[in-house]
Amino acid sequence: MNIYRPMMARTAEEPFNDPDWVFEVKWDGVRAIAYVDEDVSLRTRNDNEIITKFPELNELSDLASGVVLDGEIVVLTDGLPDFQAVASRNQQQNPRDIRKQAAQRPATYIVFDILESNGVSLIDRPLYERLEILENHLEQGRHVVRSQPIREYGVEYYEAALQKNLEGIMGKRRDSPYQPGARSPDWLKIKQVKTCDCVVFGYTRGVGDREKSFGALLLGLYAGEKPVYVGRVGTGFSDRDLENITSRLESLEITDGWFDEEDIPKESKWVKPRLVAKIGYQEVTNDQRLRAPRFQGFREDKPASLCSINQIRPQRLEEYYAKRDFSETTEPMGGSNARSGNSYVVQKHDASRLHYDLRLERDGVLVSWAVPKGIPLEHGEKRLAIQTEDHPLEYGGFEGIIPRGEYGAGAVEIWDKGFYVPVKWMNDKIEFILAGKRVRGRYELIRFDEAGENNWLLSKRIKSP
């Protein structure tokens, strides 16, 4: 059998209906790929073998043979997935405790994909074919079930999932291949409650009832290889959690600190970045902190190195983040502004070459073009416009100096701003009406591939006679 890394999903802001997609429940558990023959191997995203933690899932060998499956291990409490319960089971080491937990809190493996059958890889087959093969090659059992996706009606399915107090749903493109290790737009997770997998970099001292444990966990995420502080969490812990987590923290203590933010207490302790905590939160603040965070359990199946800051940043802004060091530049990090409108801005940018940046709000970001010779003001004028990376909405209010050595170094000032009316937005042509202080009228952008992949022609439309 081949070894596979799990395919991962991106995040969608809201549910949608589409006949080219199928939708299924998003289960809150431990992701695992099962290699099933005479013996069963269950491996997490971190490539840890966990079949010994969930011995009841050896049932798989009676239900299928010669297959590689992808699915989620869940423990149900009152009919709902209980992440803390499955996380607790995944931490068990004592064989006697494992057997006891398997009897008292049995796990269910919910299978949603098949990657290989009888030595033949299926990952290049479209999803709808893989689901047909899965139904024919896997029987259901006491602890193993197949996911039951529905086609097209994502909005209604999402609403039904929330009525059942489930976390959300998954949307998957019907004709998509399985893309090992990729975070693909062909799979989308749609959740009501925002969650983030954070690295524990330290903790604060406990006081009062927590004097013998800790007060809060200090959380961070990685921007590349650099850890970024995103806040602290002090709620969601049971008494047993406090005891167990305290001992784990103490075993990981180090002397050097990770962060120097003013709101971190001076007496805080620092630890090796080994623990990954699942954190629920309401939103991300302007300074990139998690608002109203709550501890939901540890992710034993996920390495700390995979806990990227992109979890709490709009994914369309990955290129924007990759080009900037926010410890040096004062440009906005973005990700907190959830407004939806039709704003636009033109910024004069005195970088290595003076140019003007045209930015149009679209789908939660500012789609951007650099216009070397400025915005055309006369009817019929045409200017080259080079499409650049999308920018966060907050960039529409940015003015300042980008430091020397940083991407786009130089002075930025707002030259014009206002709103625009989209008339037509296609892959190769955009028509819009600008209503600003300096720039007003109907404009169009036409893709100009002959001059380069990202090149467009910006023109002010000639008035109709």
For residues 34 and 46, the answer to whether their CB atoms sit within 8 Å is no
Comparing C-alpha atoms, which of 122, 93, 89 is closest to residue 107? 89
Question: Could you say which of 26, 269, 278, 302 is catalytic?
Answer: 26
The torsion angles phi and psi of 19, rounded to 5 degrees, stand at -65, -15
Q: Assign residue 239 a region: left if phi > 0, alpha if psi is -120 to 50, beta otherwise? A: alpha
Tokens for 378?
A: 């006369």
The torsion angles phi and psi of 379, rounded to 5 degrees, stand at -60, 130
The torsion angles phi and psi of 266, rounded to 5 degrees, stand at -60, -35
3-state class percentages of the chain: helix first, strand second, coil last, to nearest 5: 20, 40, 40
- Max distance between CA atoms of the chain, in angstroms, equals 87
Return the CA Rg of the chain: 26
For residues 451 and 384, the answer to whether their CB atoms sit within 8 Å is yes
Q: Is 26 a catalytic residue?
A: yes
For 174-225, strand residue ranges (E) read 183-191, 194-205, 214-223
Residues designated catalytic: 26
